[in-house]
Structure 1
Amino acid sequence: MHRHLLRRRALLASAGLAAAAPALAACGPDIASDEEGSDASRLLKAPDRTEGEITIWDRSGDLFEVFEGVIADFNAKYPDIKVDHVAVDIDAKLQNTLITGADVPDGVFLDDAKVGGFTDYLWDLSDVLAPYAADIAPQKLDVNTVAGGVYGVPFDLDPGLLFYNATALDAAGIDVAAIATYDDLLQAARDYQAAVPGAAPIHLEQSAFLGQLQLDMYASQLGTSIADADGNLRLDTPEFERILTFLDTVRTEGLGTRAEYLTPTDIAELDNGNQVFYPWAIWFSFAPQQVLTATSGDWRATQLPAWDAGGARSGAMGGSSFVLPKDGPNADLAWLFYEFLMFDEAGYAAVWGPGDVYPEGLATSIPSYGPAADPAKPLYSEITALGGQDLWTVATEAGAQIPGGTPTPAWWTGAVDYLGNNVQRMLDGDMTPQEVLAQSSEDIQTNLVDRQ
């Protein structure tokens, strides 16, 4: 559990370092396009070069071990490329490394929220991704696109799902299949509470940071986000008011369990049957697999409710990609490594399929590449801790409904001091949804956007 939470908290906290990056002057080589072709074309203009050594930075933890296990598969295709795979505190080291240009790695695992802050130092991969772009989830291309350039090789897609305690709901006579909209979810929570007095069925996130990330998921369903493609704030809108009104209704009617994701209180309320609905990213599947005890095997996943009948049944919550620093001496070979992992069947099957780290498969995400996320060709098996449910089909069908997105603004983490905290004040009963949006918009614009 500790290893998983370290990875997830690193993912969620990543945007903070990005806030400083845009003000820094790039120190990479002059990469202006010339008659020989675009940046990416010149990066890979020696396609027969398939030998050398690459340094790849990843965070320590479960994904590091997953990628480590795929190196042998990569070397089966490229036996003359040695992969020096290094566990690094990327948040602590990457910025200074890119600034100084000393010992720059050839490839880096980077959270989507951070890509936009480092584009001066990264290769624009538009050309090399072009053969695959039509099959990559639009949201993942969008979050990696800045000023027309694509700066990350998309890794995972983290669709939002509605996790639910099927055993408890069946006992209470609640039909989850009837939950098509968030209004239906509210009614199901009321019905469960009537059957189980004292229960608080829906999860209400108590962390300001995670609550803001979950807000992103809800907004993604509605085709919006905290900022537009140009970084302009667009928070005080009917869409965000609708989301906050839903959360406030859960609070005012006593339908929610207020707890921070997978802390002891949260786990206890999940295991005792009081908290039975958890709208969250697919990576919540880790909980029944490795955290919950009394209710492991009772949980299932389905698509999120829609905001309107017929609307999108999922939104993006989190995600990561791979980037190639301009000063990496063997970025062309690093591209071959990432191309293998994400777009070669042997590679993505090794990443998401059953392995030593995840014997049933990497069921905390799905690939962002369409052919790899084929519902008819599952990469991981039925999940025992979800009662043998076919999570792959549920997740890939949800992922296909995620609307496109925008790059995460460099000031996203700073916004937690305003938006994230104000949402918590609303859940305390101290602010209305309208006050949260108006005050947060004013503070974010003044203290973050205008100061970039």
Structure 2
Amino acid sequence: MNRNPNRPASRLAAIGGVAIAALALTACGPDITSGSDDTAASDRLQAPTAEQPEGEITIWDRSGDLYEVFDAVIDEFNEKYPGITVHHEAVDINAKLQNTLITGTDVPDGVFLDDALVSSYADHLWDVSDVLAPYVDDIAPQKIDATTVDGGIYGVPYDLNPGLLYYNAAALEAAGIDATTIETYDDLLDAARAYQDAKPGSKPIHLEQSAFLGQLQLEMYASQLGTSIADADGELRLDSPEYEQILTFLDTVQTEGLGTRAEYLSPTDIAELENGNQVFYPWAIWFDFAPQQLLPETSGDWRAMELPAWEDGGARSGAMGGSSFVLPKDGENADLAWLFYEFLMYDEAGYSAVWGVNDIYPTGLNTSIPAYLPAADPTEPLFQPLEALGGQDLWEVATTAGAQIPSGTAIPSWWNGAVDYLGNDIQKMLDGDLTPAEVISSSTEGIQSNLIDRQ
């Protein structure tokens, strides 16, 4: 059986589940986001003091290949902590976690959770600031910021998902275009125009047709510019020169007919990738699933590079998605679960087992990179070069790009609900029905009045 690395198709389903779960948090049931604004010392998790602690922990992960990866590390963890028994459960987290935390019944000690949901659950989670203290300076700042709420850190960072520009090197070379000379988004537009001249009828740049993923991609672009949909205080900041610049770029791609409008890796998307009409794909690292599994005709033709910069000398990557491990307060042995995650993420034996060559991923897990910077050393790859990218060393490209991601802010609890406004308005713009300025004004009004003001 061919295993897809980190199953971005499954990952897409999981991302969609995030939207559903987040809407459920705001639309029905008890309000689990309410509570004290203070982060008291008693809310901060402390590590066990015993040299060889003992006990049992229950860890929730999603079913699939990542579950198998984490499961395979348990034996190595027990070599270090033989007194800790790990009950590892494959769970539909988006379906079960909310009610479990509300009722306080059979609460797990640790949970794998999308960063976009952490702030919604923060009142039910341990602040891990103290246990993370020895490592925090060596963790990608964007990941710490994404799970920081009112000064507390509520997630143990797992992955970093740097945005990259994937391109069909063979098709571009045949058209006389050297993609490696692209340094800015203006350069990308020029390259797309040149390719369209060489291949009439082509629409070289991907334009995302899913409202949810279109908003996620927008935030990747915004991350490059050091901004996001909300500031550190949760205040909306769409009305800014940065968002106007990004939306104007997307609108230009649309109005000039330079973009293939399709949902991520839908049949239409795949067909346009295979026939050479779509040759530029600005996306998270996990797009590499496509040439490995879904693009047999052009597999080996694709390459990855850092994203173009928005201005000369600007950051060449932004964050797009991501997950962390959270520790519920009502778990019986959250302190022991912390030791499991500490081993998994900050012990060389742990993170090497996750991203390195193993029985599940014969060439290593290559659809993300570690958020822990010592593990993401460009000169010490954990996964191998990809044949589907012509033997390219994606590790070096991704870790170099990831190191450029600017610091960010916590993802607001209403982010997923904003798709009904911002995500949909982006699609209306790509339909030609709204201008960039109208997207900003319409989305700002809708999010502010229907989501923020009603909290």
TM-score (norm 1): 0.95
Deviation by residue 1:111-130 (Cα, 9 ceiling, x = unmatched): 00000011111111101100
Matched, 1:23 2:31: yes
Q: Answer whether contact 2:52 2:83 (CA < 8 A) is retained.
A: no
Question: In structure 1, how many angstroms separate the alpha carbons of the residues matched to 2:62 and 2:196?
Answer: 42
Q: CA deviation at 1:14?
A: 1.3
Q: CA deviation at 1:414?
A: 1.0
* Cα separation, partners in 2 of 1:380 and 1:315, compared to 1, 3 Å: same
Equivalent positions of 1:31-430 (< 5 A) are: 32-33=40-41, 39-41=44-46, 44-430=47-433
Question: In structure 2, how many angstroms separate the alpha carbons of the residues matched to 1:67 and 1:194?
Answer: 48
* Cα separation, partners in 2 of 1:138 and 1:428, compared to 1, 3 Å: same
Question: In structure 2, how many angstroms separate the alpha carbons of the residues matched to 1:312 and 1:371?
Answer: 21
Q: CA deviation at 1:431?
A: 0.7
Deviation by residue 1:384-432 (Cα, 9 ceiling, x = unmatched): 1111100000000000000011111111111111111111011011111
Equivalent positions of 1:428-447 (< 5 A) are: 428-447=431-450
Matched, 1:9 2:13: yes
Matched to 2:32, the amino acid is L
Question: In structure 2, how many angstroms separate the alpha carbons of the residues matched to 1:47 and 1:32?
Answer: 24
Deviation by residue 1:231-256 (Cα, 9 ceiling, x = unmatched): 11111211111101000100111111
Q: CA deviation at 1:17?
A: 2.8
Identity %: 71
Deviation by residue 1:322-343 (Cα, 9 ceiling, x = unmatched): 0110111111110010000100
Q: Answer whether contact 2:74 2:86 (CA < 8 A) is retained.
A: yes
**Backbone CA RMSD of aligned residues:** 1.9
- Answer with 356-365 or 198-207: which moved more: 356-365
Q: CA deviation at 1:383?
A: 0.8
Deviation by residue 1:93-114 (Cα, 9 ceiling, x = unmatched): 1011011111000000000000
Q: Answer whether contact 1:4 1:61 (CA < 8 A) is retained.
A: no
Matched to 2:107, the amino acid is V
Matched to 1:191, the amino acid is A
Q: Answer whether contact 2:33 2:120 (CA < 8 A) is retained.
A: no
SS in 2 for 1:131: coil
Question: In structure 1, how many angstroms separate the alpha carbons of the residues matched to 2:48 and 2:75?
Answer: 26
Question: In structure 2, how many angstroms separate the alpha carbons of the residues matched to 1:174 and 1:66?
Answer: 40
Q: CA deviation at 1:52?
A: 1.8
Matched to 1:273, the amino acid is G
Question: In structure 2, how many angstroms separate the alpha carbons of the residues matched to 1:129 and 1:116?
Answer: 18
* Cα separation, partners in 2 of 1:78 and 1:180, compared to 1, 3 Å: same
Matched to 1:222, the amino acid is L
SS in 1 for 2:77: helix
SS in 1 for 2:133: helix
Matched to 1:51, the amino acid is E
Q: Answer whether contact 2:7 2:289 (CA < 8 A) is retained.
A: no
Q: Answer whether contact 2:211 2:427 (CA < 8 A) is retained.
A: yes
Question: In structure 2, how many angstroms separate the alpha carbons of the residues matched to 1:411 and 1:25?
Answer: 11
Q: Answer whether contact 2:32 2:121 (CA < 8 A) is retained.
A: no
Question: In structure 2, how many angstroms separate the alpha carbons of the residues matched to 1:342 and 1:312?
Answer: 26
* Cα separation, partners in 2 of 1:121 and 1:391, compared to 1, 3 Å: same
Gaps of 5+ in 1: none
SS in 2 for 1:229: coil
* Cα separation, partners in 2 of 1:194 and 1:27, compared to 1, 3 Å: closer
Matched to 2:31, the amino acid is A
Q: CA deviation at 1:228?
A: 0.7
Question: In structure 2, how many angstroms separate the alpha carbons of the residues matched to 1:13 and 1:232?
Answer: 25
Question: What number of residue pairs does the alignment pair up?
Answer: 446
Q: CA deviation at 1:75?
A: 1.8
* Cα separation, partners in 2 of 1:107 and 1:27, compared to 1, 3 Å: farther
SS in 1 for 2:164: strand
Q: Answer whether contact 1:353 1:360 (CA < 8 A) is retained.
A: yes
Q: CA deviation at 1:16?
A: 4.4
Question: In structure 2, how many angstroms separate the alpha carbons of the residues matched to 1:60 and 1:395?
Answer: 26
TM-score (norm 2): 0.95
Q: Answer whether contact 2:202 2:277 (CA < 8 A) is retained.
A: yes
Q: CA deviation at 1:80?
A: 2.4
Question: In structure 2, how many angstroms separate the alpha carbons of the residues matched to 1:188 and 1:374?
Answer: 31
Deviation by residue 1:263-317 (Cα, 9 ceiling, x = unmatched): 1110111111110000000000111111111001111100000000000000000
* Cα separation, partners in 2 of 1:93 and 1:195, compared to 1, 3 Å: same
Gaps of 5+ in 2: none
